[in-house]
Each structure stands twice: as structure tokens, then as C-alpha cells.
Amino acid sequence: MRNRKKDMIQFLEWMRNGIAFCTTWILILVLAYCYFSGIQNILTIGLIKIVLWIIGGVFIFNLFFTPLIITKWGFIKRLSSFMAVISVYECLGFYWLELFSGVGTATQWFAFVGIILVLYLICIAIYQRYSKRQGEIYTQALQEYQQKRSKE
């Protein structure tokens, strides 16, 4: 029961932090876009949609990466599933926010999928490097422990 409470607290903290972080960055991007495009007004309904879209994205992230719901999956399975779900969610959100319109060309969709695929592969590469380093640290600590025990 204690772990469940701890997982729920982590989930809620990640929701708070994720919403704050993502809202800040998206609003900075929207403000920069409006400034450089000469747009003087941002509609309230547009801001509401952005905040709701962010909350949904952070919620999806937390479902996959906190052990609250999915307890037995490894990182790669979590990341792969998350990327598939969030990609669809982003597409729907972009249409809802009216950033996308119409069907789009094959080039546009290849660019969208390509960006997601490149970012996914970067995440996998970082994880592999991190895992290798952690494995080396663990192996070294184990060898030191075994040498210490053999001397006793």
C-alpha cells in the first residue's frame, strides 16, 4: 500500500511539474511566433485549447513512465508505446489547435514522422549509453566487493 501512495504522489508531482514546464515553453513559442508574424492578439479559446492539450500530453507521459498503472514494463517498451500514442495524440491536437489543416502532403507527413523517429532514436541511443555506463559501474562495484570478500 505504501508504494501505491508513493506512486500516486510521484504521478501528481510529475503532473504539476510537467504542466508548468510544458505550458511555459509552449507559451514562449506561441509568443515568439506571434511576435515575429506580426499577430497582435491571441484568442482566449486558443490558450484554453493549448493548456488542455498540454494537460492531456503530460497525463499520457505520466501513464507510461510512472509505475502507477504500468508496473512491469522496461524503459524501451514504455518509450516505444509512449511514442506511438503521443504521436497520434499530437496529430489530433495539431488539428484541434488548427495548426494542421486538410490532409497534408506526403512530404509533410514524412517530415513529421521523420522528426518523431529521429527523436525516438536519440532517446534510445542516450538510454543505451546510460545503461552501458551504469552496467560498468555496477560490475566494478561487484568486483571490488568480491575481492574484499576473498581477502577475508
Res 1 pLDDT > 60: no
Q: Between 3 and 65, where is the model more confident?
A: 65
pLDDT of 139 = 85
Per-chain mean pLDDT for the chain: 89
- Banded pLDDT at 85 (limits 50, 70, 90): very high
pTM for this structure?
Answer: 0.79
DSSP 58-115: HHHHHHHHSTTT--S--HHHHHHHHHHHHHHHHHHHHHHTTSS-SS--HHHHHHHHHH
Q: Which of 13-17, 118-122, 146-150 has the lowest mean pLDDT?
A: 146-150
pLDDT of 136 = 82
- Banded pLDDT at 121 (limits 50, 70, 90): very high
CA atoms of 83 and 120, how far apart (whole Å) = 7
pLDDT of 24 = 96
- Amino acid (1-letter code) at residue 124: I
